[in-house]
Amino acid sequence: GESVGLHLPTLSVQEGDNSIINCAYSNSASDYFIWYKQESGKGPQFIIDIRSNMDKRQGQRVTVLLNKTVKHLSLQIAATQPGDSAVYFCAEIITPYSGGSNYKLTFGKGTLLTVNP
């Protein structure tokens, strides 16, 4: 079936290194993607989004890359800090502009990022 999934359930990096979290999606009709961060004891927080007409989008220390050819999404975190330790989710949606339901934001299972000091 159509789903969003993550390549690695856990990722451990050293403080100061760059982190790359990957996500595969199978629904080629998805036209909008979001990365969320969930810290322990908190709800998911929006990090960055990207539309399917873009290949790359940058935020503060984060970059999202979208490869529609292989249906792959990645989140790059530069100079990873201990405060970046969390579970990261990608989510996809087929927006009404592409014929989808307004509300079907589908989440992946999440990758646990651990930053070692």
Partner 1 sequence: ETGVTQTPRHLVMGMTNKKSLKCEQHLGHNAMYWYKQSAKKPLELMFVYSLEERVENNSVPSRFSPECPNSSHLFLHLHTLQPEDSALYLCASSQVLDYGYTFGSGTRLTVV
Contact 48, 83 (CB under 8 A): no
Contact 50, 74 (CB under 8 A): no
Q: How far is CA 34 from the centre of its chain?
A: 6
The reply on whether position 59 binds partner 1 by CB under 8 A is no
Which of the residues 61 through 100 are near partner 1 (CB under 8 A)? 89, 91, 93, 95-96
DSSP one-letter code for 82: G
The reply on whether position 103 binds partner 1 by CB under 8 A is yes
Q: Please pick, from the candidates 62, 106, 112, 114, the single residue that binds partner 1 as defined by CB under 8 A.
A: 106
For the sheet containing 56-58, what is the strand order? Answer: 4-5, 19-25, 72-77, 62-67, 56-58
Binding mask 7-46 for partner 1 (x = CB under 8 A): -------------------------x-x-x----xxxxxx
Instruction: Please work out the total of residues on this chain that contact partner 1, with binding judged by CB under 8 A.
Output: 26
Tell me which residues touch partner 1 (CB under 8 A): 4, 32, 34, 36, 41-46, 49, 89, 91, 93, 95-96, 101-110
